[in-house]
Homo-oligomer: A and B are copies of this chain.
Amino acid sequence: MEHLEDYLPFWEKLSERHRQELESSAQIRRFPSGEVLHGGAEDCVGLLLVIEGRLRVYTTSEEGRELTLFRLFERDLCLFSASCIVNSIRFDVTIAAERETCAFHIPAAVYKKLMAESAAVAGYTNELMASRFSEVMWLMDQILYQKMDVRLAALLVEEADLADSEDLHLTHEELANHLGSAREVITRLLKYFQEEGVVSLARGRIRLTDRPRLEQIAAPGLR
């Protein structure tokens, strides 16, 4: 049995009444891999606090191109599934379960009230916002100043770490969606990587065959 108090760092600063409000309203929910939990700013489903699994937060352009902003792992709290709690959030993201995910669901109205009454909760929310903001700033820097080969190499290394395997079951389309790029661009780069001997390609699968070299490509400043 999971307990909210183990997941919320501000728990001990809450009053007894606030704790009871949280405990009586939060529910554990399960999302199958691939499920879209949230899409668009008008959709205020509430906060999600990940117990197990992985969520992907991404934007989609008018032409349907996706860009992964960040992922949420165990103990991460997702603000953007409840963007109505902060009025000034004026952008749309989509949140999808990248694998089967189990999470506490906290209703937006309950959290909003808590934030208005507790400086500790509002301060924690601030830190969360700043943390996601920092990830997006890093990403923008990557997009502006890093070439796509560097970004693709970094993504392949990251995916291998997450999967704990050199065998990645990812399509070129999925990689393109992570990077905000087009499938054709990714296919061309992967073929280049294959010719360089750093990956080998098969249908729906990419194997890292020279990881040290891939890590070098991913960190050109350290070469």
* Contact surface of A with B, Cβ cutoff 8 Å: 59, 61-63, 65, 67, 86-91, 115-123, 125-134, 136-141, 143-145, 180, 221
Contact = CB atoms under 8 A, between A and B. Distances in A.
Copies of the protein in its oligomer:
2
Nearest to A180: B144
A98 to B, nearest CB: 21
Contact of A129 (B65, B67, B117, B130): B130
Given A126-B126, A130-B129, A144 B86 contact: no
Contacts of A120: 116
A39 to B, nearest CB: 15
Contacts of A130: 86-89, 129
Contact of A91 (B65, B88, B134): B134
Nearest to A123: B122
